[in-house]
Amino acid sequence: MNRNIKKVCVLKGGDSPERGISFMSSEGCENAVRELGYEVCAFDFTGDIVALISHIKEENPDCVLNALYGGSGENGNVQSVLNFLKVPYSHSGVVASSVAMHKYISCELFGRNGIRVPRSKFEKWVDFIETPDFLCPFVIKPVDSGSSEGVYIINDYSELSNIEWTPRDMVFVSEYIPGLELTTAVLNDEALEVTNIITTSGFYDYNNKYTDGGAIHEIPANIPDFVRREAMKSALKAHKLLGCRCTSRSDFRYNDVTKELFLLEVNTQPGLTQFSLLPEQAKFVDISFNKLIQRMIEQSTYDK
């Protein structure tokens, strides 16, 4: 145990639709922190920055374990508060968090640096539905959410009428890449492994991600060696391009007809639930869940 760290604040809840997932993750995180010998002062963050600041000042933790997903907990807002308070925290800092959270900006960054990404655009919903210029099937999703919340795979233009967004909502539209759903986690600047996600029905949506039996995680993925190497190389490159700290997880689609691998997005706050991919890949390379949490705690820092 790092003797300089005695008390850990586990941030849970959040102000996004992924609030429930945060509670699922934080339960395991709190147990691990206690088992590692630290004092825990958990905080249910609801979006109230003043309450967060008050809690941090009152409890005076040595570091924060960020178990928030989406919203302020993942887009750089909470990170900026912790920077201001000079409290070390797990995962990435403000810039990496905010850029990774914006799907269009991050895709532009990856594409301009030699990582293959799907063709995409970012515009108002009203402008897109007036002149949709993507051949079906294509994907529409919010530009800054996670856990596949609000994701639609459009197979026919008539399906656009079923989407209840306001005209001025900004949306991220990209070409649909058929094939395998792959993911690679990075820990301490090392790509861990490649997992093939095989859903029992539909695509890897919210229910399939967090329902027991919703998806099969094939680890290591049964894929050609060149695909495995490219996925691990691209995941590490994207991690470094963003300036991620400690850990991240990159999601890919592999078109097994054209033999092309596409990076979809990078998650700076990978899930830590019993169904999550990062802990599973860590376990595959002999890093237990408690050891994973230990690394996050020991490598906690803030943007100076």
Q: Is 303 inside a domain boundary?
A: no
Same domain, 141 and 87: no
> DSSP label at 220?
S
Residues 6+ apart with CB under 8 A from 244: 91, 92, 96, 100, 186, 266, 268
Which of 142, 175, 208 terminates a domain? The answer is 175
Q: Is 194 inside a domain boundary?
A: yes
Same domain, 14 and 128: no
Ranges of the chain whose pLDDT falls below 50: 1-2, 147, 204-206, 208, 210
Q: Is 73 inside a domain boundary?
A: yes
> Could you count the other beta carbons within 10 Å of the beta carbon of residue 62?
17
Q: Report the predicted TM-score, pTM, of the whole model to 2 decimal places.
A: 0.90
Same domain, 240 and 111: yes
What is the SS3 assignment for 34-46? HHCCCEECCEEEC
> Would you call 107 helix, strand, or coil by DSSP?
helix
Same domain, 33 and 12: yes
Same domain, 150 and 108: no
> Would you call 215 helix, strand, or coil by DSSP?
strand
CATH of the domain at 251: 3.30.470.20
Same domain, 184 and 246: yes
Q: Is 2 inside a domain boundary?
A: no
Same domain, 52 and 193: no
Q: Is 227 inside a domain boundary?
A: yes
CATH of the domain at 34: 3.40.50.20
Q: What is the pLDDT of the chain when averaged over all its residues?
A: 91
Which of 131, 153, 175 terminates a domain? The answer is 175
Same domain, 146 and 237: no
Report the number of distinct structural domains present in the chain.
Answer: 3
pLDDT number for residue 167: 73
Same domain, 71 and 140: no
Same domain, 157 and 255: no
Which of 132, 154, 175 terminates a domain? The answer is 175
pLDDT number for residue 4: 87
Q: Is 304 inside a domain boundary?
A: no
pLDDT number for residue 148: 55
CA 125 to chain centre: 24
Q: Is 234 inside a domain boundary?
A: yes
Q: Which domain holds residue 158?
A: 120-175
pLDDT number for residue 214: 63
Same domain, 105 and 211: yes
Same domain, 256 and 112: yes
